[in-house]
Structure 1
Amino acid sequence: MVSRPPAFCPDCGDSLETISFDGRERERCPDCERIVWHNPVPCAVVAVVDRTAPDPAVLCVERGVPPGVGEWTLPGGHMEVGEEPETAAARELAEETGVTVDPDALDILDATTVAPRDGKHVVTIHYVVDRAATDGEVIAGSDASAARFWSPADFEAANGTFRPVHEERFRDAAAWFE
């Protein structure tokens, strides 16, 4: 399995050919006769909601690395091999914001896909948690240029920009505990 469209066999290095299999076009090695599966990459995200603010505010990070440098997202990223989605969400939250949470405290908010970028397809599980269930002070991690809580009204007033999909989940999370 590969996360981007394959051109060569990962076993023998031969060029791949396109065949029809299971009603879809697939890439296959003519030498090994092996189909090289092109599957989506799983990601996990967590929205931490501070309900003690005048308006519910959601913890966001400003991307400091490509793609989307300068755009805001909910903290999250790729799952590791052998990692449960809620564990990945908690790990990514700590890495990107310094805030920790017990994975068992997370509730599922949504699951989404985004349009492929350079042939990479992503499936994301979005979680939500009350700030009261977390620990730690907010600090931007190594791949973020900033981390902070935003209410929807404050974000609009600042004219910020979200990565695709994140703005809708941001607004859903802000309304989650109402």
Structure 2
Amino acid sequence: MIPEFCPRCGTELGERRVDGRRRKWCPACERPEFRNPVPVAGVSVVDGTGRVLLVRRGVEPWRGEWSTPAGHLEVEEEPRVAAARELREETGLAVDPADLVLLEVTQLEPVGEKHALSVGYAAAAADATGTPVAGSDAAAVEWVDREAVEERAVRPHVPRRVDAAVAALLD
């Protein structure tokens, strides 16, 4: 959502060219209102045969679509801690954040006016404890063969991350 009012003082925002871009500007505070991406983190859990754990999203955006477990970072969280927390919340699996393998950091496709900067990790199923069960934001969880991920996942980063996770953990 593009802000109309300054979050600091409530003054209606105008526009001004700042740093080579048109930006929202607060005339009262004399400063720009930056629109920065929201940080998210997720985990591709891979078993010894190359299957990956997917969740069917139970909430918007993308309700009903299959993805790897992921979500927003809390203010005090490191990305790998957030990724492990989201995995536990959505699937019931626990993994030590220190066991996560960094795959990539990338800007995801926008959802409306929301932009996300996503940190992707991989985890070996052997390093996880618990039994997969749909949690807070998930309608279902399922182990899926790598070849079937593209058929299920509508967001282009999901198959790419799964490929990277399989390569990082099994190759």
- The bucket for the TM-score relative to the shorter chain is over 0.9
Q: Distance in 1 between matches of 2:34 and 2:149?
A: 40
Match of 2:22 among 2, 25, 47: 25
- Report sequence identity in percent: 45
Are the aligned partners of 1:5 and 1:120 in contact in 2 as well (CA < 8 Å)?
no
Q: With structure 1 as the length reference, what TM-score do the two structures score?
A: 0.89
Q: What is aligned with 1:7?
A: 4
Q: What is aligned with 1:162?
A: 154
Q: Distance in 2 between matches of 1:115 and 1:75?
A: 17
Is 1:90 matched up with 2:61?
no
Q: Distance in 2 between matches of 1:18 and 1:155?
A: 43
Q: Distance in 1 between matches of 2:45 and 2:27?
A: 49
Q: Distance in 1 between matches of 2:123 and 2:112?
A: 32
Q: What is aligned with 1:171?
A: 163
Match of 1:144 among 118, 138, 148: 138
Is 1:38 matched up with 2:47?
no
Query: What is the CA distance between 1:154 and its match in structure 2?
Result: 4.3
Q: Distance in 2 between matches of 1:66 and 1:174?
A: 28
2:33 is aligned with what amino acid? V
Q: What is aligned with 1:100?
A: 94
Cα deviations across residues 107-162 of structure 1 (Å, max 9, x unaligned)?
Answer: 10111112222221111010001111110000001211111111123446xx4233
Aligned CA RMSD, in angstroms, stands at 1.5
Q: Distance in 2 between matches of 1:163 and 1:134?
A: 25
Structure holding more strand per residue: 1
Q: What is aligned with 1:67?
A: 61
Q: Where does structure 1 differ by over 6 angstroms across 4 or more consecutive aligned residues?
A: none
Q: Distance in 2 between matches of 1:11 and 1:154?
A: 48
Q: With structure 2 as the length reference, what TM-score do the two structures score?
A: 0.92
Q: Distance in 1 between matches of 2:36 and 2:148?
A: 38
Unmatched tracts of structure 2, length 5 or more: none
SS at the partner of 1:117?
coil
